[in-house]
Amino acid sequence: MFSKSFRVKSNTVIKGSDRRKLKADISTAFPSLSVEDLSELVPNKEELNVVKIYAHKGDAVTLYVLHKNPVLFELEKCLYPTVYTLWRYPHVLPTFTTWPPVLQKLAGGADLMLPGVVVPLSGIPEVKKGDCCAVKVVSNRAPMAVGTATMSSAEMRSLGMKGRGVSVLHTYMDSLWAFGDKSGPPSIPDVDTEGVEATYEEEEEEEDDDEATEGNSSRISHKHSPVLTEQMDALLLQCFLQALKSKVKKSELPLLTSSFLRIHMFSCCPSGKQLDIKKSSYKKLSKFLQCMQQQHSLVRVKELSKGVESIVEVDWKNPELRSFRTPKDPGIEEASVEVGRAEGEKPYHPPEITTLYSVSSRLEPLFQDAKKRKGTVLQPAEVRAIITDYVKRNELVDENNKNYVIINPILCDCLLEKSEYQEVEALKWDDLFSRTLYKMQHCHQLVFPGQPPIVKKGHIEPIDISVASRGSNKKVTMIKNLEVYGLDPMAVSVALQHRVQASSALNPVPGSKDRVLVQIQGNQVQQVCKLLLGCIILWVCGWG
């Protein structure tokens, strides 16, 4: 709305009665403000101006200006705080988080799209459609933009964080901000997104052209001693050789160099160490791979599309690669601990899962003699024994062919469809058992070591792993239902973050009160499977 200059219609000092009404309206619109806050925003004795303006598209807007700074603006009888006010009271509005480069787009008149929203571990703020909300950037709680939510938080989550999220009205560095003293935002630490900014910058630099990181080389190089640089070079080569030997398959070629680094090389980094190309003598992935191609003849790298390099060939017979032996990593035996809970607690052990069946109302007459009423939960073997006993006690085995069971009225009502009443006179034993189980209600039982059994209705939900797109060429991997198997989503999120060196977050599962999904940047399906399956394998082998 204020991306372009506006025209001032009038500028007057507020009257006493209007001052009191404004204070009451602010209190209603922003109930989190204290009495002291309201007195600071609308002081009784200091000059407060009412400025009526026309925005560049013709919208009539009223500004409230205190100490030469616009503190509020009113549009269609709705009050909105300016960034000057939000910098003093950042808690006033529910606030969405985005990346710093997005702010420039918002200041230019763009709305905040949901793929550009950074979801912290605490999740997105709860809003309803039309609610006033703010936008900030990672690592700073000071809001940078104000607007209205285009949909509720529940709808945002159900749409997979796609579409337009916030209709932006005012931003830092727009013409409304320029109407004030043009001061900059304060730096207010944000614990929810602490550490996210660094991850984002590293990933962006890896994906950009080589020139994008050229300026960082001289700035970073002096911070690391030659010894540390040599150690990082050695670690880089070790992870490179291990990735080629144990991770990359011929069918994957050509393979994007950025994917090779993120998916394969990072996963080969030993526990307790962190792979950082910027701390090596190469500084950039492209230079390292160029060395591996020209001096070691291990791979051939080619630019298949402008600015995007891929590994197109690997020399599997290279003596250096063939002689390489993967060093033992003591951290591998801690894979089961990786997804455990807190330090000092027992490592993860998968539950024993048993399929059970509950007696339904339709089958109750069939189980009456066994004194099993509606809702009784049975194991398949128990069902089979009860049905076999029922058939034998009622002498229903076909004398001419003992593979068949004669259908009596109770079996007819319980197991046959109406269209079969006049046609089916006998069933095979296997058919009898399968029909009985089919007509019963499915249940499942989970038994965790040292805990009482947990019985739930329905089939057990598998761990759901999916990949979704976020903007152009951006993907995220989402994992659901970890809680079903006793896995701590937070621990899984942290373990994956360390494995693939990508940022991760926890988000509520739409429609569920007590479940969250793990979201991690990039297509990490293979790494998720390796983490979860590796944990179970270690437990089976007795390493847990």
User: How far is 275 from 237, CA to CA, in rounded Å?
Assistant: 11
Are the C-beta atoms of 496 and 456 separated by less than 8 Å?
Answer: no
The structure tokens listed for 435 are 């029909």
What pLDDT shows up at residue 195?
45
Tokens 């010894």 map to which residue?
227
Q: What are the tokens at 321?
A: 């690669």
Contact partners, residue 13, CB within 8 Å, separation at least 6: 47, 48, 49, 50
Per-residue pLDDT at 371: 92
Q: What residues contact residue 541 under an 8 Å CB cut-off, 6+ apart?
A: none
Rounded to whole angstroms, the Cα distance separating 348 from 487 reads 8
Token pair for residue 271? 């526990």
- Amino acid in the structure at residue 406: I
For residue 131, give the nearest of 161, 165, 85 by alpha carbon. 165
Give me the helices (H) in 326-461, please: 335-338, 364-367, 380-393, 409-415, 429-439
The neighbour count for residue 195, using CB atoms within 10 Å, is 12
Going by C-alpha positions, the residue among 387, 386, 425, 389 that lies closest to residue 408 is 425
How far is residue 142 from each of residues 96, 136, 187, measured CA to CA in Å? 11, 6, 7
Neighbouring residues of 525: CB distance < 8 A, sequence distance ≥ 6: 465, 467, 477
DSSP, res 543: -
Alpha-carbon distance 336 to 540, whole Å? 11
CA distance readout (Å), 346 to 272, 349, 464, 479: 21, 9, 25, 23
* Phi, psi dihedral angles at 499 (to 5 degrees): -70, -45
Do 186 and 142 contact (CB within 8 A), yes or no?
Answer: yes
Joined tokens for residue 23:
């204070």
Q: Is the dihedral of CA 357, 360, 365, 370 positive or negative?
A: positive
Tokens of 451: 């805990």
Is 374 in contact with 360 (CB distance < 8 Å)? yes
DSSP string, 22-77: HHHHHHHH-TTS-HHHHHHHS-SSS-EEEEEEE-TT--EEEEEEETTEEEEEEETT
Task: Determine the Cα–Cα distance for residues 89 and 125; give it in Å rounded to an integer.
Answer: 17
Burial class (CB in 10 A: 0-12, 13-18, 19+), 351: middle
Confidence (pLDDT) at 525: 84
Residue from 257, 262, 264, 261 nearest 242 by CA = 264
CB-based contacts of 133, cutoff 8 Å, min separation 6: 93, 94, 95, 96, 125, 127, 146, 147, 148, 149, 166
Query: Is the C-alpha dihedral spanning 103, 104, 109, 114 positive or negative?
Result: negative
Other C-beta atoms lying within 10 Å of the C-beta of residue 130: 13
- On whether the CB atoms of residues 138 and 190 are closer than 8 A, the answer is yes
Q: Output the 3-class SS for 416-428.
A: CCHHHCCCCCEEE
What does the pLDDT profile of the chain (544 residues) look like in tens digits? Answer: 888 889 999 999 998 888 999 999 999 999 888 888 899 899 988 889 999 999 888 889 999 999 889 999 999 989 999 999 999 999 999 999 988 878 878 888 899 999 888 887 678 899 999 999 999 988 788 999 999 999 999 999 888 888 999 999 999 988 999 899 888 888 776 655 544 444 444 444 444 433 333 333 333 333 445 567 878 888 899 999 998 988 888 877 888 888 888 778 887 887 667 788 888 888 889 999 998 998 888 999 998 877 788 899 999 888 888 888 876 654 444 444 344 443 444 566 778 888 899 999 999 999 999 999 999 999 888 999 999 999 999 999 999 999 999 999 999 999 998 888 888 899 999 899 989 998 999 898 888 888 888 888 888 888 888 988 877 678 889 999 888 888 888 778 877 877 777 777 877 887 776 788 888 888 888 888 877 776 543 333 333 3
**Residue count of the chain:** 544
Indicate the SS3 state at residue 93.
coil
Nearest to 520 by CA among 534, 537, 507, 539: 507
CA geometry: angle at 528 spanning 497 and 308, to 5°?
Answer: 70
CA distance 521 to 140: 21
Give pLDDT, residue 498.
74
Longest dimension (CA), the chain: 107
Could you tell me whether strands 95-98 and 132-137 are parallel, antiparallel, or unpaired per DSSP bridges?
parallel
Alpha helix segments (H runs only) across 324-379: 335-338, 364-367
